[in-house]
């Protein structure tokens, strides 16, 4: 069983914890945080199911030959390729919710949540530019190079 690399899992956990704190705020800030949580929670769940576990193979693949056991990643990367357009559409919804949160945090004078919104925006860009493509490439490489059992 492949696990999400620890660095990514930790970042997701930190983002979730900060969003949880923001959702307890009163008024527009709390409302915006809850809206963002509704958009983000199922997305993170699916991401951690199919998009981030393949990244655990990056280091082993960079260090040597692919193995037959690595082929277990293929159902995940195939699902990611099928679902990637939907995941990117979800990012658009998330981006709008992050913008609302940032504006509410700025209005409330909550610099900590403004910084959180900026961090979450950067995280989404990193996924689009690096993490998703890397996971897809892991699958394509394993499919081509790993021996069949």
Residue 27 tokens, joined: 């008024």
DSSP-derived letter for residue 50 is I
Instruction: Using alpha carbons, list the distances in angstroms from residue 4 to 12, 59, 133, 138.
Output: 10, 13, 15, 14
How many Cβ atoms are within 10 Å of 100's Cβ, its own excluded?
18
- Using a 10 angstrom Cβ sphere, with 0-12 exposed, 13-18 middle and 19 or more buried, the burial of residue 53 is buried
Q: pLDDT per position in the chain (149 positions), as tens? A: 699 999 999 999 999 999 999 999 999 999 999 999 999 999 999 999 999 999 999 999 999 989 999 999 999 999 999 999 999 999 999 999 999 999 999 999 999 999 999 999 999 999 999 999 999 999 999 999 999 97
pTM to 2 decimal places = 0.93
User: How far apart, in whole angstroms, are the C-alpha atoms of residue 89 and residue 43?
Assistant: 11
Sign for the CA dihedral angle at 84, 9, 106, 23 comes to positive
């Amino acid at each position: 069983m492949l696990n999400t690399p620890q660095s990514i899992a930790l970042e997701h956990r930190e983002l979730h914890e900060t969003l949880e704190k923001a959702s307890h705020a009163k008024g527009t800030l709390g409302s915006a945080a809850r809206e963002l949580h509704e958009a983000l929670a199922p997305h993170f769940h699916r991401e951690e199911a199919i998009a981030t576990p393949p990244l655990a193979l990056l280091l082993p693949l960079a260090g040597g030959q692919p193995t037959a056991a690595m082929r277990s990643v293929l159902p995940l990367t195939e699902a990611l390729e099928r679902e990637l357009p939907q995941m990117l559409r979800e990012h658009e919804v998330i981006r709008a919710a992050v913008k609302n949160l940032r504006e509410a945090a700025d209005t409330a004078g909550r610099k900590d949540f403004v910084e959180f919104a900026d961090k979450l925006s950067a995280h989404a860009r990193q996924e689009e530019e690096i993490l998703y493509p890397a996971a897809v490439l892991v699958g394509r490489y394993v499919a081509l190079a790993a021996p069949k059992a």
